[in-house]
Each structure stands twice: as C-alpha cells, then as structure tokens.
Amino acid sequence: IGRLLFTDFCNEQDDLKRCNKFLNNVDNYEKLAPEESRLQLAQNIYQECLCAEATSRLPEDLIDETKIREVEERLLGESPRYIYSEIAAKVRDFLSGAPFAQYLESKYFTRQLQWKQLEKKPISKHTFRHYRVLGKGGFGEVCATQSRASGKMYAEKKLN
C-alpha cells in the first residue's frame, strides 16, 4: 500500500508524475514485455519520455544527453532488455531524495501509517460486524460479515 500511496502523491505534481510514468513503463518493458514487442515498447518509452518533442519528457536535470544518445544507438540495433536501467536508476535516486522527504510530510504518509497501525491489531470477534447466517453444516455455520475497518463484505465460517 505504501507504493500505491507514493504513486498517488507523485501524481499530484507534474514532474513527479512524469518520473513515475517513466519508471512504470520501464518496469513493464524490462519485466513483462514479450521479446516480440520489446523493441516497439522501447521506442514508445523513448518517444514519450526522452526525446525533445516528448509530451511527458523527464525533467531536464534528470536527463543526461550522453545516455540518451546511447539509448538512441541501441534502438537502431537490437533492443537489449536493460536499455533504460541507468536512466531509471537516476530517476529512482531523484525520487528517493527531496520528493520522498515531501511525501513523509504529506497526508499520504499519514494514511500509510494508519494502515500499518490497523494491520498490527490482532483479529478478534470485534473486527467484523456479523449480519446473518448464510448456511449451516455438520461442522458449523457460515455468516455474512463486514470488516469494520474497510467495509468489505466477507463470508465467515464459524466452527462448532
């Protein structure tokens, strides 16, 4: 949940949103993409995040022109899996600095701490609201319950 909340925090600021989009695209490219579509994905990442005309170009202080030229040369040949790893490492280092310090002061971090506190509480009979019996069997009964913390509905089996 911490990563999702940090992503929500980043999406409020344009520069951080572009960094986050780049990292998500690179993760998809390196880990999820099949070999056949990898070259096309690599070109899309370059066009969206690195080239001068890109709509969601990374902030200028994160862009090293020599690394971009290396990426351009690799895109013309075969597309290795980790073509963007050095640029992605630089973006991660940037996000772990001042933006993360701002995150620690934000409402999103407070929400993360609240969830962590909730996770530490032991589960008891007071954790859920019990509504009605859904069915009975030889070993017990199944009841409709609702989590007090999240409001999600569950089926709970009570054993005899």
pTM of the full predicted structure?
A: 0.71
Residues paired with residue 147 on neighbouring β-strands, in sequence order: 128
- Which has the closest alpha carbon to 151: 118, 120, 122? 118
For β-strands 140-147 and 128-136, DSSP reports them as antiparallel
The Cβ-side half-sphere exposure at 86, using a 13 Å CA radius, reads 10
Each residue's pLDDT tens digit, 16-72: 999 999 999 888 888 876 777 788 888 888 888 888 888 788 888 888 888 888 888
Residue-level pLDDT at 61: 82
- Tell me the mean pLDDT in the region 103-112: 93
Residue-level pLDDT at 54: 81
- Which has the closest alpha carbon to 28: 13, 44, 17, 15? 44
Each residue's pLDDT tens digit, 83-101: 888 889 999 999 999 999 9
- Which has the closest alpha carbon to 141: 154, 129, 125, 157? 157
DSSP-derived 3-state class of residue 98: helix
